[in-house]
Amino acid sequence: MKPNILILAAAVLAAFGLTAQDQKDAKKAPAKAGGILHPEMKAEAGTYAKPAATIGSKPTEPWTTTTVAAGVDSKPEPGTAITRVGEIVDFSCYIQLGKHGEKHIPCGQKCVNNGQPIGLLTENGTLYMLMPEEHDPRRDGGADAKASGSSHMGHIVTVHGTAASVGGYRAIFVQGLTK
């Protein structure tokens, strides 16, 4: 009986120790409660009520024929046709530095034009990676999101596409970005 009590006591002490450490860590680096990082950095083109532009065409089906054909056993992962309004951001600078808005446009355009992913930052702070939907044109270099990502960097726009997620990653695959 005594060994069981000792094990139980050790487990309780360990739990209290972890809780105390979690509280100590929380005081050092408070977690973001959601929302947009650095809300003082503002987009000046477009608003959430009146976006500056529209990117993509509304999908009639979640996936195009090339994406369906490319899927394992012709079955791509689940996706849902959606429309979202948000600010076009350089995905890498936003996650790493929290940068977005009008003042970040030149840097964001350089990053996107040099291969960094494009993001859509919604009003509630949800971040989506934007990619061309059409599988074969995307794979073969016939689809490109850089032009719309660069020209609308730092603007609030409407995006039509297919939402998909894996783990913690969210993406919108945009139809109509073929060259």
Q: In terms of Cα–Cα distance, which of 33, 51, 67, 23 is closest to 120?
A: 51
Check whether residue 61 and residue 27 sit in a common domain.
Answer: no
Q: Distance between CA 171 and CA 162 in Å, rounded?
A: 8
Specify the 3-state DSSP secondary structure of 16. helix
Is there a domain that residue 37 lies in? no
Is there a domain that residue 162 lies in? yes
Q: What percent of the chain has pLDDT over 70?
A: 80
Specify the 3-state DSSP secondary structure of 157. strand
The answer, yes or no, to whether residue 5 has pLDDT greater than 50, is yes
E strand segments, 32-146: 54-55, 80-90, 118-122, 127-132
Q: Distance between CA 173 and CA 160 in Å, rounded?
A: 8
Is there a domain that residue 107 lies in? yes
Is there a domain that residue 65 lies in? yes
| CA distance to 10, 11, 146, per residue, from 6 (Å) | 6, 9, 62
Check whether residue 8 and residue 76 sit in a common domain.
Answer: no
- State the pairing for strand pair 127-132/169-174: parallel
Check whether residue 14 and residue 71 sit in a common domain.
Answer: no
Predicted confidence band of residue 1 (pLDDT cuts 50, 70, 90): low
Check whether residue 80 and residue 160 sit in a common domain.
Answer: yes
117 DSSP assignment: P
Domain encompassing residue 16: 1-31
Is there a domain that residue 47 lies in? no
What pLDDT, on the 0 to 100 scale, is given for residue 40? 86
Check whether residue 60 and residue 135 sit in a common domain.
Answer: yes
The answer, yes or no, to whether residue 28 has pLDDT greater than 50, is no
Is there a domain that residue 42 lies in? no
Check whether residue 26 and residue 58 sit in a common domain.
Answer: no
Q: Count how many domains the chain has.
A: 2
Q: Which of 37-46, 64-73, 106-115 has the lowest mean pLDDT?
A: 37-46
Check whether residue 2 and residue 71 sit in a common domain.
Answer: no
pLDDT digit string, tens, across residues 104-155:
999 999 999 998 999 999 999 999 999 999 888 888 888 888 888 888 999 9
Is there a domain that residue 112 lies in? yes
Check whether residue 86 and residue 157 sit in a common domain.
Answer: yes
Q: Distance between CA 28 and CA 60 in Å, rounded?
A: 48
Check whether residue 7 and residue 95 sit in a common domain.
Answer: no
Tokens at 118, concatenated = 């494009």
Check whether residue 89 and residue 147 sit in a common domain.
Answer: yes
* Mean pLDDT for all residues in the chain: 82
Q: Please state the rounded mean pLDDT for residues 85-94.
A: 93
Answer yes or no: are the C-beta atoms of 175 and 64 closer than 8 Å.
yes
Is there a domain that residue 168 lies in? yes
Check whether residue 103 and residue 158 sit in a common domain.
Answer: yes
Check whether residue 12 and residue 64 sit in a common domain.
Answer: no
Answer yes or no: are the C-beta atoms of 161 and 61 closer than 8 Å.
no
**Around 27, how many Cα atoms within 13 Å sit in the side-chain half-sphere?**
5
pTM of the model as a whole? 0.77
The answer, yes or no, to whether residue 29 has pLDDT greater than 80, is no
Q: Please state the rounded mean pLDDT for residues 153-167.
A: 94
For 24, the enclosing helix (H) or strand (E) is: helix 2-28
Task: Please report where in the chains the tokens 């408070």 appear, as a residue.
Answer: 30
